[in-house]
Amino acid sequence: MNRRLLFWIPVALRLLLVVAGAGIVWYFFGPVVALAAMLGAMVVMLVTQLHYLYQLSDWLDNPGSARLPDGWGAWTDIFSRLYKLRRDDEKNQAELAEWLARFRQAMSLLPDGVVIMDDVLFLEWCNPAAERHLGLELARDKGMRVTNLIRTPSFIDYVVLGRYEQPLTLNLRERKLIVQIIPFESRRQILVTHDVTDAERVDMMRRDFIANASHELRTPLTVINGFLEIAYAQPNLELQTRMSHLKLMIEQGQRMQNLVEDMLTLTRLESVEHPLRPERVDIRTLLEQIRQEALALSAGRHQVSLEIDGPDIRGSADELRSAFGNLASNAVRYTPEHGSIALTWKMTEEGPRFTVKDTGIGIRLEHIARLTERFYRVDKSRSRETQGTGLGLAIVKHVLLRHDAALEIESEPGKGSTFTVKFPKKAVFAE
């Protein structure tokens, strides 16, 4: 039914009831009493209306405080509709608060920084990533001008010029950030920051690696090409000279092969698609093999001993063979003739230990921290003479990282070095 009729019909009926009542009173008691009764009824109705009006005004002052009365007549409908409005409002507010909380949480998980500013760059809100990137603190800096908080000249220029289509590269607090301002709504702007420090570092490492690898490959290639050119220009070279050239070419070819193999090993170790698949590593078999390889490389120039007093472990036998083999071959290559090399496997309180101890040339302290860097060598010529690639200890480091193990190096120049691989207790293979 029409809302207007719904309102007016009960009102009209109530008025009709009063008039009808007055008519009955008139009939029995005369007009004076009837008019007085009607007036009384009107006063009661008026007071009731005023009472509800007061309650409404009281409730409007503080809508959340009290429940609305049930009301009477048209008030029942008004109150129930107001009550419903308030409930809807409360529900909307709760939804809004929940949505805002979710939005804040999403923003706080975002790796990129987001700063909301007004049109004159006063800070309104920012997420934790922006706090970290730009050194802001929302609680402290809210309402401050962003150009007073980030005073780097290139940032100020960017803001002054207002060429926001292009992002700005900002070096701030030892990090490299890509920053861009995006105007939105009519009086607000968002500043977005993206940290590219790590990506940049990885990129630089990759560039360095390619440059180093090319440099390493260029030398043997130049040697081989040189001899090939000689062989081409002088086809009648003496057999002895030709043989010595061929021997050098084979050596250089071997060097390139070692290098490529080590680079492939490193790449394989680094690739996420090739995770460690732990298996039982038979330590005795593995270390006997390492000792035999070391003896073969030494060709009778050194003593190589092996002592095993510890359990088998869980890990990748292939990877550990490569790591332990590198340590043992380094010991042979950097130990002069008649020196000795001791390989030991033992169990300690903290976990299993593999030690390679030599009586070789030793390493000066300032080099020790850098030995596991790719292509880092203390003595370049000695490394090359002994077919070193400069990647051996980098491979060791990666393999150990994948086994939660650590490498410890102790050395004294002229006396010898000790390389210790420390495995955690949990590496022990349990039957």
Residues of this chain that interact with ligand ADP (CB under 6 A) are 326, 330-331, 334, 358, 360-361, 363, 371, 376-379, 383, 388-394, 417
Q: Report the nearest approach of ligand ADP to the CB of residue 121 (Å).
A: 52
When the beta carbons of 189 and 265 are compared against ligand ADP, the nearer one is 265
Q: Report the nearest approach of ligand ADP to the CB of residue 420 (Å).
A: 12
Q: Report the nearest approach of ligand ADP to the CB of residue 331 (Å).
A: 5
CA distance 258 to 274: 21
When the beta carbons of 34 and 394 are compared against ligand ADP, the nearer one is 394
Q: Report the nearest approach of ligand ADP to the CB of residue 258 (Å).
A: 8
Q: Report the nearest approach of ligand ADP to the CB of residue 306 (Å).
A: 17
CA distance 360 to 414: 7
Closest CA to 255 of 218, 229, 225: 218
Q: Which two tokens stand for residue 417?
A: 């070095």
When the beta carbons of 138 and 409 are compared against ligand ADP, the nearer one is 409
- Angular region, 362: left φ>0, alpha ψ -120 to 50, beta rest: left
Q: Report the nearest approach of ligand ADP to the CB of residue 262 (Å).
A: 8
Closest CA to 408 of 133, 417, 93, 399: 417
When the beta carbons of 284 and 415 are compared against ligand ADP, the nearer one is 415
Q: Are 389 and 366 in contact (CB under 8 A)?
A: no
Per-residue DSSP letter, 66: S
Q: How many CB atoms lie within 10 A of CB 329?
A: 21
When the beta carbons of 71 and 392 are compared against ligand ADP, the nearer one is 392
Q: Are 133 and 194 in contact (CB under 8 A)?
A: no
When the beta carbons of 193 and 383 are compared against ligand ADP, the nearer one is 383
CA distance 309 to 145: 68
